[in-house]
Amino acid sequence: MPRFFFGRFFYSRDQLSPLRTRPSRFISFLLASALLLAALLPLPYVIFEPGDPENVLGSMITVPEEFASKDKGNSKAGGKLFLTTVYVTTPKSKVFGFEILKAWLDGDETVLPRDSVYPENQPASEIKKQESQEMTSSQENAIFNALSYLGYEVPSRAKIVDVLKQSDAHDLVKEDDLIIEIDGREVDRVEQIVDVVRQKNPGDSVSLLIERAGKRISIPKVTLMENSLGAAIGIFLTTTFDFPIDVKIRIKDTGGPSAGLIFTLGVIEKMTEEDLVRGRKIAGTGTINANGEVGAIGGIESKMIGARRDGATIFLAPLDNCGEIRHIPKGLQVIPVKSLKEAISALRSKDPASLEGCQTSG
């Protein structure tokens, strides 16, 4: 008689027959109903899917003719520098269980908890406004970094764009105020202000010197609040620039700061005789601040998939994103960078394949 081994004991088939009894039709109905309900329930997740890459070396970036690269020959022909994007469900979108299951099975889509992408309880209108501000700031930082790299002097100022109601500074500063000094230190960029604040603790204070409508106003004490990164003034800032050259970047229906690095490289390629792209299809992503530092972004795997679909063979990725990459599309070399300087060095390399790339974590 056939026998089955469970743990340390043998049992005959007859002894096991009660375990093989089929569930009743009622139980089966309940299980099926529960599965169906789970599939039809909206869940607190968002779905990323690859967007369509756009070549920034086309008409997206324009520079005055007298400052544009004079190389009209073939040395820059055929090369493309892709800005990569993702489609992501909006904060108000209902994402159902069956959609999440489809995304997981599809493999080209990424599913993340909603609160890891969109701040909890923040109105969709505020999120859209913030993303628009981030895109504007991204473009301005890109132009600033490109022109600075090319040797131009670009004056800058740190401007307040919003103030939190719970901030101690709420009744002291206003939108469009310029911060001239913090704790007696002259500043002209957001990063300089952040550096001062990050050295303090919530409850500490800072002094500010601001400029409003051409008049300077001293604020002796602003008590710092706490946010997810530590101490904060509770204001939103942007760095404004006085550009000596009228560079324009035009892009529709895209928000956020993640195109900063590629915008910067695109402006440089448009204005220099040096051919960084060299006929290749190159893609990438990453924020860039006024110090030329490249920062992490969301949805990187979806961006890599979209880039490879359009033929990219090199992908410049923020170093801080490397650890979350589980899969790299075949034929795509992912090169980690943490600054504009490193990105340019990677593009200049005569043997890109020898450069250390991101490794998958999965």
At residue 11, the pLDDT reads: 35
Q: Which residues contact 353 (CB under 8 A, 6 or more apart)?
A: 333
* 337 & 223 share domain: no
In a domain, 344, yes or no: yes
* 340 & 262 share domain: yes
In a domain, 96, yes or no: no
Q: Give the CATH number, domain containing residue 286.
A: 3.30.230.10
Domain interval for residue 159: 155-242
* 139 & 253 share domain: yes
In a domain, 109, yes or no: no
SS3 content of the chain, % helix, strand, coil (to 5): 30, 30, 40
- Tally the domains of the chain: 3
CB 262 within 8 A of CB 56: yes
Task: Give the phi and the psi of residue 247 in degrees, each rounded to 5.
Answer: -95, 135
Amino acid at 362: G
Task: Give the phi and the psi of residue 160 in degrees, each rounded to 5.
Answer: -80, 130
Tell me how long the chain is: 362
* 348 & 211 share domain: no
* 220 & 291 share domain: no
* 135 & 250 share domain: yes
* 144 & 166 share domain: no
CB 260 within 8 A of CB 56: no
In a domain, 137, yes or no: yes
In a domain, 221, yes or no: yes
In a domain, 118, yes or no: no
- What's the start-to-end Cα distance of the chain, in Å? 46
At residue 69, the pLDDT reads: 84
Amino acid at 286: G
In a domain, 114, yes or no: no
* 284 & 346 share domain: yes
* 223 & 249 share domain: no
H/E stretch holding 99: helix 97-106
* Cα–Cα distance measured from residue 246 to residue 64, given in angstroms and rounded to the nearest whole number: 7
Return the structure tokens found at 288. Answer: 């860039």
Q: Give the CATH number, domain containing residue 218.
A: 2.30.42.10
Per-residue pLDDT 10s for the chain (362 aa) are: 433 333 333 333 344 444 444 556 666 666 666 666 666 677 777 777 888 999 999 999 999 999 998 765 445 667 999 999 888 777 777 777 777 777 767 767 777 777 767 777 677 777 777 788 889 889 999 999 999 999 999 999 999 999 999 999 999 999 999 999 999 999 999 999 999 999 999 999 999 999 999 999 999 999 999 988 899 999 999 899 999 999 999 988 788 889 999 999 999 999 999 999 999 999 999 999 999 999 999 889 999 999 999 999 999 999 999 999 989 999 999 999 999 999 999 999 999 889 999 987 65
* 227 & 270 share domain: no
Name the one residue in this structure whose structure tokens are 């990725």.
Answer: 317
* 195 & 249 share domain: no
* 74 & 22 share domain: no
Q: Among 182, 216, 242, which residue terminates a domain?
A: 242
In a domain, 265, yes or no: yes
At residue 235, the pLDDT reads: 95
DSSP state of 323: G
Q: Where are the beta strands (DSSP E) in 205-307?
A: 205-212, 215-223, 225-227, 230-232, 235-241, 248-249, 281-284, 287-288, 294-295
At residue 254, the pLDDT reads: 80
Longest dimension (CA), the chain: 98
Instruction: Of 342, 344, 346, 272, give the one whose Cα is nearest residue 314.
Output: 346
